[in-house]
Amino acid sequence: MATEPGRVSFSGLYLQQPIQEVYVENTYRMGPEPGCHFNASRTQQILQATLDSYLEGVCHSPDSCSQLCQMLADLVLSKLKDVNPPRYKLVCQVVVGQSGKQGISVASRSLMNPNTDNYTSAVFQNHSLFAVALVHGMYFE
């Protein structure tokens, strides 16, 4: 058994605790079960409703934008866990910026299997800020 050499107790001595290895049995399933695909339209509805409800009265602040992006991504992922099919991994990306007369392009690339994987996006804009959220649902074999 391996030990973690980097863990130190309060006294300065290394902790010698074994790392427990996790064994997972193979399911021999190479694709999702019928009817258990990533539902992009349902995900888009949840994504849009989350952005609309949370950002309705929010004003842009450069100091808090990074925390707002992290919080929105965590909120979206927690809401999507209820509707996420088994064996799918979700990746959420949120971009928040100041509304003005500038232009912006948001692009995302991923290596996906078109038979099992999908993505969706939602856009929100008010007088002060804009937000673009993307969610990728990828089947985990």
What fold characterizes domain 40-139? Ribosomal protein S3 C-terminal domain (3.30.1140)
Which pLDDT score, from 0 to 100, does residue 121 have? 95
Take residue 6 and report the two structure tokens written for it. 């980097």
Q: Which amino acid is at 8?
A: V
Tokens 């866990």 — which residue? 81
Q: Is 25's pLDDT higher than 90?
A: no
Each residue's pLDDT tens digit, 46-104: 999 999 999 998 999 888 888 999 999 999 999 999 888 888 999 999 999 998 888 88
Alpha-carbon gap, residue 50 to 59, rounded angstroms: 16
Q: Which amino acid is at 77?
A: L
Query: What residue segments make up the domains of the chain, in order of their start?
Result: 40-139
What is the pTM assigned to this prediction? 0.76
Q: Is 45 exposed, middle or buried (0-12, 13-18, 19+ CB in 10 A)?
A: middle
